[in-house]
Amino acid sequence: MLSFSSLRQHSGVSPVLLRNFCRAISTAPLLKNPKIILHGFPNSGTCFLTRFALHAKGAKFEEQPLNVRMKPDGTPDTTGPSSKPWLEVDGLRIDMPGAIFNFVNERLEGPALLPASAEGRARSRTLASFCLGNMMPFQYWRVVSFLKADMGLSDAQVQKWRRHWLEDGFEQVEDWLKNPEALCLSLPGGNSCAAPEPGRFCIGDSVSMADIFLMPQVYWSQKGDAALRVDLSKYPHLKKVYENTAKEEAFVKSCPENI
Closest CA to 208 of 180, 245, 174, 181: 245
As assigned by CATH, the class of the 118-252 domain is mainly alpha
Mind listing the pLDDT tens digit for each residue in 101-116?
Answer: 999 999 999 999 999 9
Mean pLDDT of the chain: 87
Q: Does domain 36-107 have CATH number 3.40.30.10?
A: yes
> What is residue 65's predicted lDDT score, i.e. its pLDDT?
92
Helix (H, G, I), strand (E, B) or coil at 70: strand
Instruction: Give me the mean pLDDT over the 133-137 stretch.
Output: 90
Q: What is the pTM of this model?
A: 0.84
Confidence of residue 207 (pLDDT cuts 50, 70, 90): very high
Distance CA 19, CA 29 (A): 17
Q: Structural domain boundaries of the chain?
A: 36-107, 118-252
Edge-to-edge strands, sheet with 36-40? 62-65, 36-40, 86-89, 92-95
Number of C-beta neighbours around residue 11 at 10 A:
13
Task: Name the DSSP letter for residue 248.
Answer: -
Confidence of residue 3 (pLDDT cuts 50, 70, 90): very low
